[in-house]
Amino acid sequence: MSQLRLLCRFLGLTTTAALVAGICSSSGADDHDIRPRSSAADLSQPRQTSGRLVPCGDGDGDGFIATDCGGDDCDDTDLEIHPGAIDWCGDGIDQDCSGADLNCATDHSELDWRGPGTCVACHSDEAVDVHQSVMYQWQGDAPLMTNGGPRQGKDRGGVNSYCVHILGNWAGCGSCHIGLGALPSEDPNLDQLKNIDCLLCHQEEYRRRRDGADWVPDTAAMTITMDEAVKTTHRPVRSNCLQCHAKSGGGDAVKRGDLALAQIDTTDRDFDVHMSVTGADLLCQNCHRVNDHRFEGKGSDLRPSDTATTVECSRCHPDKATSWGHDDEEIGRHVDRVACQTCHIPFYAKDAGDTTASEATETHRTWLDTAGNQPPIHPASRKANNLIPSYRHWNGTSWNAVLELPVYVNPDNGRYPTSFPEGDVADPDAKLYAFKYKTAVQPMADSTGRLIALDTSVFFATGDAEAAVHQGLVNMGLDPDQPVSWIETETHQMLNHQVADHDDALECEDCHESTTRMDLQGELGYELNGPQSVVCTQCHGNEGNPDFYEVHDEHVEDRHIDCARCHNFSRD
Which range is least confidently modeled, 142-151, 195-204, 285-294, 539-548? 539-548
Domain membership of residue 548 (yes or no) is yes
Q: What percent helix, strand, coil does the chain show, rounded to 5? A: 25, 15, 60
Q: What is the mean pLDDT of the chain?
A: 87
∠ CA(371), CA(375), CA(377), 5° rounding?
Answer: 30
Domain membership of residue 179 (yes or no) is no
Intra-chain end-to-end CA distance of the chain, in Å: 63
Read off the pLDDT of each residue in 324-333 and give the average, rounded to a whole number.
89
Flag whether pLDDT at 110 surpasses 90: no
Q: What CA–CA distances, in Å, run from 117 to 136, 232, 328? A: 16, 17, 57
Q: What is the pLDDT of residue 56?
A: 79
Q: What is the pLDDT of residue 2?
A: 47
Tens digits of residue pLDDT in 271-280: 999 999 999 9
- Which distant-in-sequence residues (6+ apart) come within 8 Å of 327 by Cβ? none
**Strands (DSSP E) found in 374-430:** 379-384, 390-394, 398-400, 416-421
HSE of 316, CA atoms in CB hemisphere, 13 A: 10
Domain membership of residue 561 (yes or no) is yes
Nearest to 262 by CA among 177, 174, 338, 354: 354
Flag whether pLDDT at 196 surpasses 60: yes
- Which residues partner with 362 through β-bridges? 383
Read off the pLDDT of each residue in 370-382 and give the average, rounded to a whole number.
95
Q: What is the pLDDT of residue 15?
A: 28
Comparing 3 with 204, which gets the higher pLDDT?
204
- Say how far apart CA 485 and CA 490 lie, in whole Å: 16
What whole-number percentage of the chain has pLDDT above 70? Answer: 89
Give me the torsion for CA of 564, 569, 571, 572, rounded to 10°. 40
Q: What is the pLDDT of residue 463?
A: 97
- Which residues partner with 196 through β-bridges? 179
Read off the pLDDT of each residue in 28-38 and give the average, rounded to a whole number.
35
Flag whether pLDDT at 470 surpasses 70: yes
CB 448 within 8 A of CB 484: no
Flag whether pLDDT at 3 surpasses 60: no
Domain membership of residue 18 (yes or no) is yes
Q: Count of domains in the chain?
A: 2
∠ CA(514), CA(515), CA(521), 5° rounding?
Answer: 105
Which range is least confidently modeled, 67-81, 306-320, 379-393, 545-559? 545-559
- Say how far apart CA 265 and CA 256 lie, in whole Å: 18
Which range is least confidently modeled, 41-55, 179-193, 458-472? 41-55
Domain membership of residue 541 (yes or no) is yes
Q: What is the pLDDT of residue 90?
A: 74
Q: Residue 4 belongs to what domain range? A: 1-34
Q: What is the pLDDT of residue 55?
A: 64
Q: What is the pLDDT of residue 572?
A: 65
Tens digits of residue pLDDT in 481-530: 999 999 999 999 999 999 999 899 999 999 998 999 999 988 998 888 88
Strand pairing class (431-445; 361-370): parallel
Flag whether pLDDT at 401 surpasses 80: yes
Domain membership of residue 535 (yes or no) is yes
Q: Is the bond into 376 cis (omega within 30 degrees of 0)?
A: yes
Tens digits of residue pLDDT in 430-466: 999 999 999 999 999 999 999 999 999 999 999 999 9
Flag whether pLDDT at 281 surpasses 80: yes
- Say how far apart CA 221 and CA 238 lie, in whole Å: 19
Tens digits of residue pLDDT in 127-184: 999 999 999 999 999 999 999 999 999 999 999 999 999 998 998 888 999 999 999 9
Burial of 255: CB neighbours in 10 Å, binned 0-12, 13-18, 19+:
buried
- Say how far apart CA 178 and CA 212 lie, in whole Å: 17
Comparing 537 with 448, which gets the higher pLDDT?
448
What whole-number percentage of the chain has pLDDT above 90? Answer: 68
DSSP 319-351: GGGSTTSSSSHHHHTTTTTB-HHHHH-S-BSPP
Which range is least confidently modeled, 8-12, 159-163, 547-551? 8-12
Burial of 121: CB neighbours in 10 Å, binned 0-12, 13-18, 19+:
buried
Domain membership of residue 60 (yes or no) is no
Tens digits of residue pLDDT in 283-307: 999 999 999 999 999 999 999 999 9
Question: pLDDT category, 34, cuts 50, 70, 90?
Answer: very low
Exposure string (b/e) for 26-50, b if CB count within 10 Å is 16 or more? eeeeeeebbbbbbeeeeeeeebeee
DSSP 81-144: -STTS---TTSS--TT-SSSPPP--SSSTT----STTTTTTT-HHHHHHHHTSHHHHS-EE-TT
Domain membership of residue 11 (yes or no) is yes
Q: How many CB atoms lie within 10 A of CB 243?
A: 17
Nearest to 158 by CA among 405, 394, 396, 478: 405
- Say how far apart CA 572 and CA 564 lie, in whole Å: 8
